[in-house]
Copies of this chain bind each other. A is one copy, B any other.
């Protein structure tokens, strides 16, 4: 592990540690690694001693001892166990100022579990918008949260200091804090995460038993739509169940619109069908862009790149020598050929220059 200036976080002032992480899965271990990077002591707890050993081996901290006194407790257990573990965390730290937070995907259920606890002021919920199709401590990495939104969900009785401490934890992990109430948070993630996941699963389910000749026509589109459905079914079952109210509201909207679409297709009612498609297109434009700023006009430049070591690096080096900054790269997952098509996304005003320059350097571009 090396460090460079660009990723060094602002030093925290309230968050001194030790930080106890309960649950050393993907999220818990990644948070522990981020705390360790900042020099903060980390205590690890998990029902599985093997997970704790693995996380310790990764440099995420040490196993918690009975007499340890954490300043902050991060509960990072699966949604089904979250309410009980949160209550226990507040109980165990009675009489201290320990801040208790959690990183569960749903925020109303854990808040409801502790709202009548005498120490509820020490609890502030949170939820990093990061994850992976993989799970467990070995999937963790210190920059899992880099640049990602991380919701902080204070309630009416939250101590200001507790909220500020959680904010420091968020910033120390490289994430961008977003403040919401627990209720609004749950409505937001139903929309941006849970319902999209279910829709991806329903779409992917149609492929599971499809003939191979049908699947041979799969392009990048269906891969994109279904990708998140690869996530762990048990975990997503827990998440969706814990947010049932908001998810069912939205699924009700989806179902009404699906019925409209089916009737429109049957009747050849093109206006209704196009209306639903146009609403979808508007939805894709509503998602905030990279860097959150106003979108600069971008253009794609396509280049053929032989699928052998070094060619992609050479292409990027040539783009740099052309003094064009590559904002994004997409490599086409072609099903059968040894030549890849690489899409370089650059500022529109620089695209023509890049094409000329790459061609002069012998690349096959595609105008």
A36 interface residue (CB < 8 Å to B): no
With a CB–CB cut-off of 8 A, which chain B residues contact A362?
2, 4
What is the total number of copies of this protein in its complex? Answer: 2
Closest beta carbon of chain B to A291's beta carbon, Å: 6
CA distance A132 to B62 in the complex (A): 51
With a CB–CB cut-off of 8 A, which chain B residues contact A304?
4, 6-7, 143, 146
Known: A202-B261, A319-B313. A207 touches B283 (CB 8 A): yes
A67 interface residue (CB < 8 Å to B): no
At the interface with chain B, which of A82-90, A91-99, A155-163, A336-344? A336-344
With a CB–CB cut-off of 8 A, which chain B residues contact A178?
213, 216-217
At the interface with chain B, which of A14-22, A38-46, A117-125, A226-234? A226-234
Q: Beta-carbon contacts of A298-319 to B below 8 Å, as 1s and 0s? A: 0000101010111011101101
Q: Is the interface of A mostly helix, strand, loop or mixed?
A: helix
A3 interface residue (CB < 8 Å to B): yes
Q: Beta-carbon contacts of A266-278 to B below 8 Å, as 1s and 0s? A: 1010100110111
Q: Beta-carbon contacts of A197-228 to B below 8 Å, as 1s and 0s? A: 11111111111101101111111011111111
Chain A contributes a number of interface residues (CB within 8 A of B) equal to 146
A135 interface residue (CB < 8 Å to B): no
Q: Beta-carbon contacts of A237-271 to B below 8 Å, as 1s and 0s? A: 10011001001101111110111011001101010
Q: Are B191 and A207 in contact (CB-based, < 8 A)?
A: yes
Known: A202-B199, A283-B229, A367-B1. A254 touches B248 (CB 8 A): no
Q: Are A336 and B292 in contact (CB-based, < 8 A)?
A: yes
Closest beta carbon of chain B to A56's beta carbon, Å: 14
CA distance A226 to B333 in the complex (A): 19
A136 interface residue (CB < 8 Å to B): no
